[in-house]
Structure 1
């Protein structure tokens, strides 16, 4: 059990952020053991040819049988707008002894590919990770990021409407708030407890998390990585996202499709990519659905995210 003691229930102690490098680190689990992540098999198929040219020896060695990954692949993000290049630069600048220590927390003894001189091992890890990002993540990152940003927007609304405790109740079956202590269940025997005083608690939504997870050691800043909403539709082909026939008869195919997809927040740009239509066409349908009270919208950073309203939910269920 990992426990983080909040400073009372001060909202300022809890923040949300997105980490591209964290997504890559968790994605290595899918790379190593695809059978545990069936929802991401379409992504693996789409990247199969690209992965053939990667340094698979290093990428596989960055996880162990329990699918642990070194903490330096899970940096504390400071913003929902964190850039991958900035995070990887911090990893590349780590002292060799720190890198070796973090690798030993995952493997003891180290596999041969990670057991050489620390500077050479780090250089090879950074190169392998960068190539993994450029071939298997960067082309799909706008789609992934939209899902992650939509989750953050949803959690913010829950806090505003129902409070911090309600948000934690819906975060993960592995995470719960007891008094002012956030408890995260772990699969191992170990655990630790620390206060968030001075550091706060960062909540990081993830495409590749199956539940709630934390850094391996207490010396890392407090953070909880959890499964983002809407991942189930991330890799669905366009013809799988269709509304019930009764809904199509009333709204038309395009608007019924949008209403079904918007169970989770998304921007017009993301919707256009997913549904294979222009952004301007999507915007026309979104305006009509919102005017009818079937959608809500909220600005998040530079994007406007749309989500089904309560009325829209009832219409889809009835359809």
Structure 2
């Protein structure tokens, strides 16, 4: 067991945050090791053909994920709910010495041109995010935010002891220390030294916890979010009565069918519409901020926005 030793200052600085960047990184590990992540097979089945069509070269990022993740591509989020662009800017802003230290720790060669290499890493992650994670981000974020609300309630009603007791079976709080059982059986004691601890729920981290304690990075504990299994559950095929009354049956039907990102042609066939008719309805939904288009090769995929996820989730 590894033990994290807290001071009063560390407890005061312990916080909860979510990270879209980490979901991209963790989902790449799912993509490269699918047998260890059976929960996410529905996502894999949808995303693999899309990535193949886009011919995106993921090697600049994947080489940073084995056997461990390079810290500079997955640092602790700076705010409680950053967007992907803010986190990518953090990657781009890392000092060369810190990047090379991370590469040295993983036994990887240093970058001959660090600025160009890091920019390539960041742009690859951004392109991958748009193809593989962004279409599902509203439902993923809903699960992560629900987990954070639950943890915040536990902290407010029972303090750190109750928070950590409910977090994961591999964690145990005792006497000002947090004992962590890691997959690699790492042991010893790590003093947080007033740096605090960031607790970050993750969907794609399931079923494992992971820990970053290497200075000068802020200590970070990632754990499987409650309700992760619900993300890939089948969604209702019929739109709700309330939603149909507000935006009409064709648009409500299209939104309901978008439990998975799809093209205009696919949606037209599923909804029993002409391609032209489906296109008109999707344009209206886009203008209303209910769907977002993403180009994948020669195709345009539509996915629901946060607002649409909320509307479709309200059944009546």
TM-score of the superposed pair, with normalisation by structure 2: 0.69
The residue matched to 1:214 in structure 2 has which SS?
A: strand
The alignment status of 1:237 with 2:234, answered yes or no, reads yes
RMSD: 2.7
Report the counterpart of residue 20 of structure 1 in structure 2.
Answer: 20
Task: After TM superposition, give the deviation of residue 187 of structure 1 in Å.
Answer: 3.1
The residue matched to 2:145 in structure 1 has which SS?
A: helix
The residue matched to 1:22 in structure 2 has which SS?
A: helix
Shift in CA distance, 10/188, structure 1 to aligned 2, threshold 3 Å: closer
Q: Is the 8 A contact 1:194 1:218 kept in 2?
A: no
Report the counterpart of residue 273 of structure 1 in structure 2.
Answer: 309
Shift in CA distance, 83/5, structure 1 to aligned 2, threshold 3 Å: same
Of 188, 209, 212 in structure 1, the residue corresponding to residue 209 of structure 2 is 212
Q: Is the 8 A contact 1:175 1:183 kept in 2?
A: yes
Report the counterpart of residue 87 of structure 2 in structure 1.
Answer: 87
Q: Is the 8 A contact 1:7 1:13 kept in 2?
A: no
> Which is bigger in relative contact order (C-alpha 8 A, separation at least 6)?
2
Of 113, 117, 120 in structure 2, the residue corresponding to residue 117 of structure 1 is 113
Shift in CA distance, 13/122, structure 1 to aligned 2, threshold 3 Å: closer
CA distance in 2, matches of 1:219, 1:2: 19
CA distance in 1, matches of 2:113, 2:306: 44
Cα offsets for 1:19-43 (capped at 9, x unmatched): 1112222222102101110111111
Shift in CA distance, 162/216, structure 1 to aligned 2, threshold 3 Å: closer
Q: Work out the number of aligned pairs and report it.
A: 246
Task: After TM superposition, give the deviation of residue 116 of structure 1 in Å.
Answer: 4.6
Of 189, 198, 207 in structure 2, the residue corresponding to residue 202 of structure 1 is 198
The residue matched to 1:143 in structure 2 has which SS?
A: helix
Shift in CA distance, 216/9, structure 1 to aligned 2, threshold 3 Å: closer
Q: Is the 8 A contact 1:71 1:216 kept in 2?
A: no
Q: Is the 8 A contact 1:13 1:196 kept in 2?
A: no
The alignment status of 1:166 with 2:162, answered yes or no, reads yes
Structure 1 unmatched ranges of 5 or more:
241-268, 286-319
Report the counterpart of residue 64 of structure 2 in structure 1.
Answer: 62
Structure 2 unmatched ranges of 5 or more:
238-304
TM-score of the superposed pair, with normalisation by structure 1: 0.68
Task: After TM superposition, give the deviation of residue 231 of structure 1 in Å.
Answer: 0.4
CA distance in 2, matches of 1:189, 1:158: 28
Q: Which sits farther off after the overlay, 40-49 or 155-164? A: 155-164
Task: After TM superposition, give the deviation of residue 271 of structure 1 in Å.
Answer: 10
CA distance in 2, matches of 1:15, 1:49: 38
Q: Is the 8 A contact 1:3 1:183 kept in 2?
A: yes
Report the counterpart of residue 155 of structure 1 in structure 2.
Answer: 151
Task: After TM superposition, give the deviation of residue 208 of structure 1 in Å.
Answer: 1.4
Shift in CA distance, 220/91, structure 1 to aligned 2, threshold 3 Å: same
